[in-house]
């Protein structure tokens, strides 16, 4: 019997009961927490390098009481959403054009492929000279870091729309505008949402890098400032908050995809 259950749950692309899904997720999370407790409370790792879960919890409570956690979180969320939204507004239509029309691909793809391989961190000194060290610099770092990655991914989504789908539309009498707006774009939207979901995680990385270099608030600044004082509990707190925000936005993208694009939901 256990073998049959394992074979059923381990089959590729097969759904599993929601209860099993949640049980496995909770088991893995609890196992990681237990390992953390064993290493920290058991004295296997010095508290200077690995704080206990309770110490991180107390650091969070202190951050809430003095307001520093809310201020730094709000600053980072504002910066990341500004840069990410601006990049997405440009990347989605340009990416669809690049993946669907060869003339657009010829104009956009070479420049995109060149810039997307440039390390964003190497551009920060220039960006500080050009736009200063305020919020503009962080937003620009996120914008550059995500825009060109999004362009390639969205173009690939658009490029993979079956040509037969477009040919059938033309055969049924649709004109070019109708094919683009009623067939091509709806077919790309599920992949576009998945692309935005993935690249938002990259945007957090670029934000932390930007705040490490020049910032007076934000979660990256919070982590760096804690590192200078060897407050590992606050470092873990900053990392945990970023991870929690990432988890929340990831789930929101999933819900948004299911709500706005019901035709793309499997099953």
Distance between CA 246 and CA 77 in Å, rounded? 11
The confidence score (pLDDT) of residue 54 equals: 92
Residue 214: band (very low, low, confident or very high) from pLDDT cuts 50, 70, 90: low
pTM of the model: 0.83
pLDDT (mean) for 142-159: 91
The encoded tokens of residue 124 equal 């920060």
Q: Where are the beta strands (DSSP E) in 77-194?
A: none
The alpha carbon dihedral of 205, 207, 210, 215 has a sign of negative
The confidence score (pLDDT) of residue 1 equals: 42
Tens digit of pLDDT for each residue in 226-261? Answer: 888 888 999 999 999 998 998 898 888 888 888 887
Residue 267 pLDDT exceeds 70: no
Tens digit of pLDDT for each residue in 217-232? Answer: 888 888 888 888 888 9
Domain boundaries, the chain: 2-41, 53-264
Distance between CA 107 and CA 248 in Å, rounded? 37
pLDDT (mean) for 96-102: 89
pLDDT (mean) for 85-102: 92
Distance between CA 121 and CA 185 in Å, rounded? 34
State the average pLDDT for the chain.
85
Q: Please state which architecture CATH assigns to domain 53-264.
A: Orthogonal Bundle (1.10)
123 vs 147, higher pLDDT: 147
Among 93-102, 175-184, 185-194, whose mean pLDDT is lowest? 175-184
Angle, in degrees to the nearest 10, between helices 185-213 and 135-159:
150
pLDDT (mean) for 86-106: 92
pLDDT (mean) for 44-69: 89
Distance between CA 232 and CA 223 in Å, rounded? 9
């Amino acid at each position: 019997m256990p073998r049959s259950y394992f074979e059923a749950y381990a089959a590729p692309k097969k759904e599993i009961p929601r209860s099993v899904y949640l049980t496995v997720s909770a088991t893995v999370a609890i196992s990681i927490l237990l390992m953390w407790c064993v290493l920290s409370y058991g004295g296997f790792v010095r508290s200077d390098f690995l704080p206990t879960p309770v110490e991180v919890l107390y650091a969070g409570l202190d951050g809430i009481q003095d307001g520093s956690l809310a201020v730094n979180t709000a600053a980072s969320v504002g910066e990341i959403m500004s840069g990410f939204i601006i990049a997405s507004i440009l990347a989605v239509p340009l990416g669809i054009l690049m993946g669907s029309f060869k003339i657009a691909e010829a104009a956009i793809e070479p420049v995109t492929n060149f810039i997307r391989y440039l390390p964003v961190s190497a551009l920060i000194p220039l960006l500080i000279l050009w736009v200063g060290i305020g919020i503009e610099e962080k937003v620009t770092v996120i914008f550059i870091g995500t825009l060109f990655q999004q362009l390639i991914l969205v173009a690939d989504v658009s490029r993979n729309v079956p040509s037969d789908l477009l040919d059938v539309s033309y055969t049924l009498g649709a004109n070019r505008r109708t094919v683009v707006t009623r067939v091509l774009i709806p077919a790309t939207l599920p992949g576009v949402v998945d692309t935005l979901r993935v690249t938002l995680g990259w945007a957090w990385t670029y934000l932390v890098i930007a705040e490490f270099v020049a910032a007076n608030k934000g979660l990256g600044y919070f982590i760096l400032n804690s590192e200078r004082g060897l407050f590992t509990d606050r470092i873990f707190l900053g990392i945990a908050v970023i991870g929690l925000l990432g988890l929340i936005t990831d789930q929101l993208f999933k819900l948004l995809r299911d709500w706005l694009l019901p035709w793309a939901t499997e099953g």
